[in-house]
Structure 1
Amino acid sequence: MFPHALRYAAPVLSGCLLVVLLAMCGDARADYEPTTDADTQSDATTDNSDIARCHRYDSLQPRGTTSPLVSTCETVSPEWGGLREDLADSGWLIEGGGSVGFSYDLFQHDEHPQRYIGQDPSYRTNPFVAITYDLSRIGFPDATQLVFNVDFQAFSYAGENPTGLSFNSFYINQHFNDGRVQLQYGYDELSNQFYGFSLGTSATASTAGISSSIPFEVGLINNKTAPEANLRLALPDHFYERFGVTRSVDPEGVQADWDSNNFLGLKWHIPGAKALYINELGYQTDAAPGQRMAWLRQGVIYNESHYPDFQNGGYAGSNYAYYLVGDYQLIQTDPTRSFRGLYINAKADYSPPDRNVYASDIGITPYVLGPFGRPDDVLSLSYTFNRLSKSFQCMEQARGISAVDYSSTYALAYVYRWRRGIYLTQQLSYTVNPIPAPKRSPALTWMSSLSVYY
């Protein structure tokens, strides 16, 4: 089985990564070809030569992720006083950022202990550093990249996520056949590679992005990294096929996974956490003059780990989920900046109700990139309906705990570009049945966050 194969392969992969790191400490130089991105905007105070240089660095940004970082032209200091150019000349790119957020239920449902985000005033922060290196400079095939990402996360409400330092990514990404084949292996969160949790892959829209508990409920890692490998094949007519395998999150939950994986997220094996497989078939086109952005994808997640069986007691032999997600650009509002316009996102997810609290959901989110003549802002309005497990509801009621059979949320969000590299997000959401059990009154939650990229 896959976990045993991982255990034997661990020393080999770890040794290879160590060799790569040692090699990177030497002096490696090669020619570098700049690239440009016409849709990325910079402050008017930045001259054309600065724009040309900062676009050049974007080709070194992490590959493969569905939620890319903002362009280096859109960071607080694109050049770092010339240091960024010196690093790029040697094949390196270093970027970073972080956010500080606050949430509170305006209906003032303070409760001790707290049962959901914002029920009491809730704070969070997650600074990160992302580093890439062009491995072709030390003998690897062209278009081979090492990606390294470390972050620190802190939450005042422990039920949201554990607090601590961890690796988010430590992998090699390789392209073959002119980029039509992409292979990635190492440590990463597969949620960065599949599904797409940012609206339309827009980095600035990530804080107003789509949400679903189901992919994470069935085992996708979302707070620490895990060993993984995934392969993406570009098919004719903008279709693609992507398959990945990783270690599941601990079936006992996020906190249990964090406690077991206490070596900065780089543990190879965790008791009870077995192999998780994911397959995605999609269709994707980028926004361009005369061409609207479209990204349609459907996927299957299968987890070999054993999960509690709400209906029959004991444990189910595995877990699984299906998802269908789509983004489509309805209107292009600026012929010179084709990414601007009105979009719609729709999603549907399913997981078996005998072993998952959230059994299915549907959601729809109209959103605008560049509203009110502001090309880097984002406006979104969303509705999500969650169907909760009847088996879980009956189990809780047998224990004398009130439980609900659905949850629904309306949310309005605006991402405001304060200045280059600094974004302020405000969101107001109204949720009926904010937690599965015990039953609680509706919540009107205000969420505010400040994001900085450097």
Structure 2
Amino acid sequence: MQVKINSNDVASVHDRPNDQTKPPYSASGHPFSCRPPRHAELVVACALAAGLFNGSALAQTVNISDQKSSTADESTKRTVQSKRAPAGRSDEIRKTRAARFGGRLAPAQATIPQADKFAKFESLRIKGLEVNLPGPADTVVQDKGGARSALAEIGIGYIAWTQNTYVNNLLPNAAKSTIANQLYSGQNPTFYTLSYMMVTYDLSRYGIPDGQIIVGTEQQSWTWQPGGPDRWGINTIAYYQTFFDRKIELKVGYLMNSYELAGTVVGGNPGANVFGPSSNVLYQGGMNFAPAPTPTLNLTYHFDDRLYNKVSLQRSTSPDGVFAHITTNPTGLNWSTTNAGILLLDESGYRNGAAPGLPETWLRAGVGFNNSHYTNLAYPTQPRADENSLYYVAADRQLWQCDARETASRGIYGGFSVMGVPPDLNKVSQYYEVRLYAKGLFDRRPSDQISLVATDTVWSNFAVDAAAAKGNLVHRDAKAISGTYTAHLGPGIYASIGLTYIDHPTSITYTPQIGHALNFSASTSIFF
């Protein structure tokens, strides 16, 4: 279990006192055959992994339920689709680019035959996201009974999904407690469920380029409230369109930027990898996410098919943390939040999708400035007046292609993330993640995903020193390593199991009995 700092864990850090059919075997006779890309390149190493799985250790105290549920294998970043495909581009690249503005093609979907009957739904998939939500072909209901087709006729599309996760520390003498006194996800058996419903309306029928209205709702329920808390409300109310032959993308409304910036989910797949990494650093800095959407304007400029820059102007989430934000604004409809100001984010990146002999690559870096009123941890008794900032750098690179001709996105990947915020304003000041993951490694399981993630979450030296001065046992960082296997059991159905070792799963202070955790997690993601 990756030190998962669930979105809600972040809350806990701030809010709680001390976050065509193929043979089953390759020609070589092995269950899988991976061939290196034609051009060898430096592999992007990884940095720490915070488990999307809200029970992850760090999550234990920094649970940030980013709910980045990832499902299908993603091949490319939403790259600008030019009028003509560049010479030498493969069919796969063209298809990916064509699907770009209707929801990126996910790897899992590449293995599910996409009959022509599903092509008509592409323009109805949610636009403007960085994660890969599956298309109608990779859902349980698909187009049974013709209901999806009937809605498409009048310009309506939809996707719904649910994630259910169980987390439990397997180590003996782990100081089990009552749920009321639980300090981290998994200290006691912890269960949570996240459910989403999102509907789109196609405005391109009225001459608006790629125009779309998106409305979504999110419901979550936790046995351990600091990991949540329980809530039901909106996650998106948005308007989207493009300009100048898709050179510019505009998205405005109540948004969840955790799905649109930074790319914090392992493999970019929210439903298929419930244990993907999440970053509490971004939430502390004020970034909004599914349980805490805020008014936002996002503008993306595409220099070419691979190079882009995205600027986001959003109302910040509460400077008191995720838990405080959700409890005071559970529906997400409030226009303002106490002490919350404006967060300006800018991300630049380079992204190309996988093609035969061309490995997938995604490099991105971002900075943010927040004029909300934060409490200064060095001078906690002084009036709030300090503005916050954040930065992140991340990279993912396909290291090996298993089946370049048929599904180029299958293979082995490596990546890393580094994030930081000022230690005098944030309890978590630095985050490092290194990841190694594989998509469709086995010919008999072309849609499964395996991940190994290591993370280190560093606490603010001001917060640590203050806790030590009170005579508490303290630790300055929390390290974790996790392994997860996600199986694609059928159209729209994913199941994951994971094991995460965490050194110091609680926030800053601890007792000898809760100094370590070995969290077992099991999760299902079902898409409709």
Distance 1:90 1:173 in 2: 18
For residue 370 of structure 1, what is the amino acid of its counterpart? G
Q: C-alpha displacement at 1:256, in angstroms?
A: 1.9
**What is the rounded CA distance, in whole Å, between the counterparts of 1:453 and 1:237 in structure 2?**
30
Say which structure is richer in strand. Answer: 1
2:491 aligns with one of 403, 417, 420 = 420
Q: Residue 290 of structure 1: CA displacement?
A: 2.6
Tell whether the 8 Å contact from 2:231 to 2:326 is kept in structure 1 after alignment: no
* 1:190 corresponds to: 257
Unaligned runs of 5+ in 2: 1-97, 100-104
Aligned residues of 1:42 and 1:51 also touching (Cα < 8 A): no
Amino acid corresponding to residue 428 of structure 2 in structure 1: Y
| 2-structure distance, mates of 1:216, 1:55 | 36
Distance in structure 1 (CA, Å) of the matches to 2:305 and 2:150: 39
Equivalent residue number for residue 59 of structure 2: none
> 1:84 and 2:148 equivalent?
yes
Q: Does 1:442 align with 2:516?
A: yes
- CA separation of 1:392/1:38 partners in 2, compared to 1, >3 Å: closer, same or farther? closer
Structure number with the bigger relative contact order (C-alpha 8 A, sep ≥ 6) is 2
C-alpha separation in 1, matches of 2:305 and 2:198: 33
- Structure 1 residues 203, 164: CA separation in 2 closer, same or farther (over 3 Å shift)? closer
Per the alignment, residue 301 of structure 1 pairs with 368
Task: Give the deviation of 1:270 after TM superposition.
Answer: 1.4
Go from structure 1 to structure 2 and tell me whether the alpha carbon gap of 1:205 and 1:162 turns closer, same or farther (over 3 Å shift). same
Aligned CA-pair RMSD = 1.9
Q: Which of 464, 470, 473 is equivalent to 1:399? A: 470
The one of 434, 450, 453 equivalent to 1:364 is: 434
- Would you say the 8 A contact 1:55–1:73 is kept in 2? no
What amino acid does structure 2 have at the position aligned with 1:346?
F
Query: Which whole-Å CA distance do the structure 1 matches of 2:160 and 2:377 have between them?
Result: 43
Q: How many pairs are equivalent?
A: 414
**Percent identity of the aligned residues?**
28
Amino acid at match of 2:507: P
Is the 2:416–2:434 Cα contact (8 Å) retained in structure 1?
Answer: yes
Q: 1:249 aligns with which of 312, 317, 339?
A: 317
| Equivalent position of 1:125 in the other structure | 193
Contact 1:136/1:142 (CA < 8 Å) preserved in 2?
A: yes
Asked if the contact 1:226–1:268 (Cα under 8 Å) also holds between the matched residues in 2, the reply is: yes
1:243-279: CA deviations, max 9, x gaps? 00111111122232123224x2111111211111110
Residues 110-144 of structure 1, C-alpha deviations (whole Å, 9 max, x = no match): 1230001111111101111111111133x352211
Shift of 1:432: 0.4
Hey, what's the Cα distance between the residues in 1 that align with 2:106 and 2:214? 25
C-alpha spacing 1:399/1:140, structure 2 compared with 1 (3 Å):
farther
Please, which of 178, 181, 184 is the counterpart of residue 248 of structure 2?
181
**AA aligned opposite 1:251:** P
Aligned residue among 123, 146, 156 for 2:223: 156
- Superimposed CA distance per residue, residues 203-249 of structure 1 (whole angstroms, 9 cap, x where no aligned partner): 44441322221101221123221100010000136210000011111
| 1:208 aligns to 2:275 (yes or no) | yes
Q: 1:205 to 1:40 in 2, by over 3 A?
A: closer
Range that drifts further, 167-176 or 433-442: 433-442
Give the counterpart of 1:64 among 114, 123, 128: 128
CA contact (8 A) 2:283 2:322 kept: no
- Once residues 471 and 110 of structure 2 are traced to their aligned partners in structure 1, the CA distance between those partners, rounded to angstroms, is 58
Report how far residue 43 of structure 1 moved. Answer: 8.2
Structure 1: how far apart are the matches of 2:236 and 2:451? Answer: 29
Query: Partners in 1 of 2:416 and 2:146 — Cα distance?
Result: 43
TM-score (norm 1): 0.87
Q: Is the contact made by 2:132 and 2:269 (CA closer than 8 Å) also made in structure 1?
A: yes
User: Is contact 1:70-1:203 (8 Å) kept?
Assistant: no
Aligned partner letter, 2:338: P
Q: How many Å separate the matches in 1 of 2:267 and 2:358?
A: 15
Q: Compare 356-365 and 425-434 and name the one that shifted more.
A: 356-365
SS of residue matched to 1:127: strand
Decide which moves more: 408-417 or 355-364.
Answer: 355-364
- Aligned pairs for 1:38-437 (under 5 A) are 41=109, 51-108=115-172, 109=174, 110-112=176-178, 113-137=181-205, 139=206, 141-222=208-289, 223-236=291-304, 238-262=306-330, 264-313=331-380, 314=382, 315-335=384-404, 336-373=406-443, 374-437=445-508
Question: In structure 1, what is the Cα distance between the partners aligned to 2:338 and 2:183?
Answer: 28
Where does structure 1 differ by over 6 angstroms across 4 or more consecutive aligned residues? none
- Structure 1: stretches of 5+ with no match in the other structure: 1-34
Distance (whole Å) between structure 1 residues aligned to residue 165 and residue 481 of structure 2: 20
Q: Which amino acid aligns with 2:158?
A: I
Most deviating of 277-286 and 72-81:
72-81
Aligned mates of 1:41, 1:187 — CA distance in 2: 29
User: How far does residue 419 in structure 1 lie from its aligned partner after superposition?
Assistant: 1.5
Instruction: Describe the superposition over 1:378-404 as per-residue Cα deviations: whole angstroms up to 9, x where unpaired.
Output: 000011112211111111122333221
CA distance in 2, matches of 1:40, 1:59: 19
Q: 1:360 to 1:425 in 2, by over 3 A?
A: same
Provide the C-alpha distance between the structure 2 equivalents of 1:266 and 1:168, rounded to a whole number of angstroms: 9
CA–CA separation in structure 2 for the residues paired with 1:405 and 1:95: 42
Give the counterpart letter for 2:134 in structure 1: V
- Residue matched to 2:56: none
Q: Name the amino acid aligned to 2:314.
A: T
1:160 maps to amino acid: G
Task: For 2:138 and 2:115, locate their aligned partners in 1 and report how far apart those are by CA, in whole Å.
Answer: 10
